[in-house]
Chains A and B, each alone.
Chain A
Amino acid sequence: MTLVDHDLAARVIERALRHGGDFAELYVEDRHGFTVSLDDGRVERPRGGSERGASVRVVLGEATYFGHVDGLAEGPLLELAGSVAAGVRAQRREGESRFGARARRSGSGARAALAPGDRTALLPQPAGSHPITEPPQEVAAERKVELLRAGDAAARAAGDAIAQATVGYVESRRIVEVFNSDGLAAADDRTRTRLSVQAIARRDGRIETGSETRGGHAGFELVADAAQEIAGAATRKALTMLDAVDAPTGRLPVVVGNGFGGVLLHEAVGHGLEADAVHKRASVYADRLGDQLAVAGVTAYDDGARPNEWGSDGIDDEGTPTQRTTVIEDGRLTSFLHDLRSARRAGAQPTGNGRRESFRHLPVPRMTNTYFAPGEASVEELIGDVDRGLYAVSFGGGQVEPATGDFVFGVSEGYLIEGGRVTAPVRGATLVGSGLEALAAIDGIAGDLAIATGFCGKAGQSVPAGVGQPHVRIRELTVGGTAA
């Protein structure tokens, strides 16, 4: 099945380039979603929907002209292309009168390599790279409800202190097609499934929450038997934190847990490697390609092709096949993350990181699944060498200013390390620092790589992103605690 035929795509692109442009693209999408949750024992908020739409983009020199419409009918698509072209024309006129040579330096190279009548076959999807065993839309709604109830029952069975549980199920399918003036015609069929549990524990007036999520570019098979395990992880966190003491404050060694602990890499390093930030010098990594930023043994990847992973796709949202990109190799910064434009500008190869939330958004360089490669150490060794420090197992979330690399992470599950042993759980700890500082201070990596399910927000767009790592030790980091 195709959403728009090639002949129409070619005419849209031709019209988009009517007033010039170096590049034009048509992106079309058909998306279906379904979500339902269970809260306090009650199945609620079932919601489903379907959306179809398209966007057209023309690039002329450094400028991008963009528009989108709901629906895929021929008339509105051609109208959209016409209105984007009108934007090009208006700016060229303006540019020629006001900026002279500057705007004229490009823009004469309009070309529509995908000519009307072309019958280029869609690029075949990388075969079986993200196989879907049980398409969620074919699974009876009752089974999804049973899954929620199983999660709820498992959470409640974890102890009397569990006061409440919320279980959420989300499925989506996005079929996308990308056509551009370089002759590209590519398609992708993306199914994602996700199950999450949040537990609230109460005891003696104390209240703590714990949550766990499993998601993938996968079908219902990913979560079908996972309710118990996910609920178990969520309740364990909530119950553990009931006994938490105030977090310490100061400069301390920090051992960061595997899986979601990788959000530190994502925020503190990954965003600074996205080539749009690099181009605008809004990244501390801008001039650092080839530099030794961490000790040998520290290697990190962005891998959008990792089978069935949450942040994986067949192609990115510009039609570039996803790939594994080594961003740090033995401590040396080796690559930025590119979309088509940033790659062209930098004279680099696209890395399959041109992602967008939907047809309503422009693609920007984004991470897919970002993680540290496994090292040689054991978790026991990493912790055993620490006299007094923090074991940050999981984060509630994090935030970074890419321009400075300054980050803040709320530790949702953390423990004191005393005399080489993990002791009391702590609450209210935050990690504060900068990416360069944290990278340089890594002094141990374990072998237990795990990748967790995250959402990444940038430029007003939210996309699924896998974050991961094995256990990693940072020699020293600022811990902001509640014990002042």
Chain B
Amino acid sequence: MSDATAAGCASGDDLESLAGWGVEAALSAGAGEAEAWCERSTSRRIRVYDGAVESLSDAGGRGIGIRAFLGERSGYGYGTDLTADGIRATARIALDAAAIADPDEHGALPAEPGVADVEGLCSDAMAGWTTERKVELALAVERAARGRPGVSQVENAVYSDAEASAAIANSRGFAAAYDATRAFAYASAFAGEGEDLMTGLGIGLGRDPGALDAAAIGHEAADRALALAGARQPSSRRCPVVLDAFVAASFAGLIGSMLSADAVQRGRSLFAGREGEEVAEPALMLVDDGRHPDGPASAPFDGEGSATRRTPLIEGGHLRGFLYDTRTARKDGRCSTANASRSSYRAAPSVGTTNLLVEPGEAPLDELLRRAGEGLYVTDVAGLHSGVNPVSGTFSVGACGRLIEGGELAGPVREITIAGDLVGMLRGVVAVGSGARWVPLGGSVRAAPLLIGEMAVSGS
């Protein structure tokens, strides 16, 4: 918090006091123990279309969430009213909620809360960027995408950023706060027209707008769409499959959610009871890292005040462990891995990934393609979360991409499904590519391309 007063970074100090009031309000209303989480943010979002601003949003938000314990029962209340009366009312909601819960012997505040040292969460450079320069950045993203011959439309080019502060306090005397900044831009480009139209997404992120390469983001959107132009439905086959980093990130996110100790303990994960077992090829390494300096989900502490850390999940082909918060850790007689996550002050903490990393390998993409020989390069999947059975791991998802012929990219394909089961797929990872990148879509994942030995691909 040393740079908390620097330009661009709001101070979380007053939030810490508000969180403290929240704890006191819950205790004086009768809670045995209590925890409060307080947030404040300002954010901007600039959407451009056809060379002009389409929308410009400027927003401020704040709120408090209180978790109250009545013996072994717990309940949660949240609200936007941060006056003394408002906080008391929110504490009351939490206590009323706790009164109807069944007792949970494992529910508790963290025994050893703490704060990890995470570098660079907050960029002072953010404050130096005027709205006009940010608009210019969004326009530059769009221009780069439109500039590629063959691009028929750029549906969206968006820049957004936020400066956020969060604070936590609990009845065991722990209190902490942090500030973070982030900036993000993306574009969605089209290639082709009518029924032949295909889309492509380009993304970039960082702690401030200076970290965003507008041309690269626009070009990525355009190139991903152009690579699919003229796609047709191929015949069904069983073949080697290369997943690009975007698709690998989607699968990694899904696997990460199944490695939550909560899912495991509730019998909703195919990884239940498999700790220490061989679940993948040694090439694949999966890590959750709440302190990664570039990670969009990085923070000094998790949603209940445990110091963040790095947790290997799959290493050397073996399942090393699961993701824990305090409650699930107590249930298994373990330590929390600081994976109590909160989507906002409106949500009670629950187990979730922080930054999920698919550690990159040695092989550049062309080598993966060469090794695949005759196969499929997948650049987009649809319906992953609806098309997967989390307990059995069987999946069947829609996909598009390019054929691989003679070890090189060939004709674009669409309207295909790829099917299999997740463990079968993990065991089939023959090689991991070298090109790792952040994919902040529905989670925070840094992934590299994967070569899978064989998958069932169905087309016509």
Assess the B195–A51 pair: CB atoms within 8 A: no
Assess the B396–A47 pair: CB atoms within 8 A: no
Residues from 45 to 81 in A contacting B, C-beta threshold 8 Å: 45-53, 62-71
CB proximity of A120 to chain B, nearest CB, Å: 28
Q: How far is the CA of A478 from the CA of B399 in the complex (A)?
A: 13
Residues of A within 8 A of B98 (CB): 46
Pick the contact of A67: B59, B80, B104 (CB < 8 A): B59
CB proximity of A437 to chain B, nearest CB, Å: 9
A430 interface residue per 8 A CB criterion = yes
CB 8 Å contact bits of A244-263 with B (1 = contact, 0 = none)? 00010111000000000000
Pick the contact of B63: A36, A70, A99, A409 (CB < 8 A): A70
CB proximity of A271 to chain B, nearest CB, Å: 13
Pick the contact of B54: A46, A64, A99 (CB < 8 A): A64
A282 interface residue per 8 A CB criterion = yes
Residues of B within 8 A of A480 (CB): 396, 398, 416-417, 419, 458
Assess the A484–B419 pair: CB atoms within 8 A: yes
Assess the A398–B386 pair: CB atoms within 8 A: yes
Assess the A396–B387 pair: CB atoms within 8 A: yes
CB proximity of A444 to chain B, nearest CB, Å: 23
Residues from 19 to 63 in A contacting B, C-beta threshold 8 Å: 34, 36, 39-40, 42-53, 62-63
Residues of A within 8 A of B93 (CB): 48-50
Assess the A52–B417 pair: CB atoms within 8 A: no
- Report, as a range, how many residues of chain B touch the other chain: 35 or more
Residues of A within 8 A of B390 (CB): 209
Residues of B within 8 A of A250 (CB): 236, 458, 460
Assess the A164–B53 pair: CB atoms within 8 A: no
Assess the A478–B101 pair: CB atoms within 8 A: no
CB proximity of B38 to chain A, nearest CB, Å: 12
- Report, as a range, how many residues of chain A touch the other chain: 35 or more
Residues of A within 8 A of B90 (CB): 49-50
Residues from 168 to 209 in A contacting B, C-beta threshold 8 Å: 200, 206-209
Q: How far is the CA of A409 from the CA of B96 in the complex (A)?
A: 41
Residue in B52, B98, B394, B395 with the greatest tally of chain A CB atoms within 10 Å: B52
Residue in A49, A53, A200 with the greatest tally of chain B CB atoms within 10 Å: A49
| A208-B101 contact in complex given A68-B60, A399-B383, A404-B197, C-beta closer than 8 Å | no
CB 8 Å contact bits of B164-203 with A (1 = contact, 0 = none)? 0000000000000000000000000010001101110000
Residues of A within 8 A of B125 (CB): none
| Residue of B with least CB distance to A36 | B100
| A87-B56 contact in complex given A47-B348, A48-B96, A432-B416, C-beta closer than 8 Å | yes
| Residue of B with least CB distance to A58 | B56
Residues of B within 8 A of A64 (CB): 54-56
Residue in A102, A282, A405 with the greatest tally of chain B CB atoms within 10 Å: A282
Residues from 357 to 408 in A contacting B, C-beta threshold 8 Å: 360, 362, 395-401, 403-408
| Residue of B with least CB distance to A55 | B59
Assess the B266–A164 pair: CB atoms within 8 A: yes
Residues of B within 8 A of A163 (CB): 267
Q: How far is the CA of A325 from the CA of B306 in the complex (A)?
A: 52
B238 interface residue per 8 A CB criterion = yes
| A70-B80 contact in complex given A42-B104, A284-B195, C-beta closer than 8 Å | yes
* Stretch in B13-21, B70-78, B358-366, B403-411 with 4+ CB within 8 Å of A: B70-78
B437 interface residue per 8 A CB criterion = no
| A428-B396 contact in complex given A43-B100, A70-B60, A70-B63, C-beta closer than 8 Å | yes
Assess the B233–A410 pair: CB atoms within 8 A: no
Residue in B198, B383, B391 with the greatest tally of chain A CB atoms within 10 Å: B383
- Give 19 A-B pairs besides A69-B61, A70-B63 with Cβ atoms closer than 8 angstroms: A36-B97, A43-B100, A43-B102, A49-B346, A50-B89, A51-B78, A51-B79, A51-B80, A66-B58, A91-B135, A209-B391, A250-B236, A399-B398, A401-B199, A406-B414, A408-B417, A410-B388, A429-B396, A481-B417
Q: Which residues of A contact B (CB under 8 A)?
A: 34, 36, 39-40, 42-53, 62-71, 83-84, 87, 90-91, 94-95, 99, 102-103, 141-142, 144-145, 163-164, 200, 206-209, 247, 249-251, 280-282, 284, 360, 362, 395-401, 403-410, 412, 427-430, 432-434, 436, 478, 480-482, 484
3 closest cross-chain pairs (CB), A and B:
A480-B417, A397-B386, A408-B398
**Chain A to chain B contacts (Cβ below 8 Å), 18 pairs:** A46-B101, A47-B347, A49-B346, A51-B80, A63-B54, A63-B55, A164-B267, A209-B389, A250-B236, A281-B153, A282-B155, A284-B195, A399-B398, A404-B199, A408-B382, A409-B383, A428-B394, A434-B415
Q: Which residues of B contact A (CB under 8 A)?
A: 49, 51-63, 65, 75-81, 89-90, 93-94, 96-102, 104, 131-132, 135, 153, 155, 190, 194-195, 197-199, 233, 236, 238, 266-268, 346-348, 382-383, 385-392, 394-398, 400, 414-417, 419, 456-460
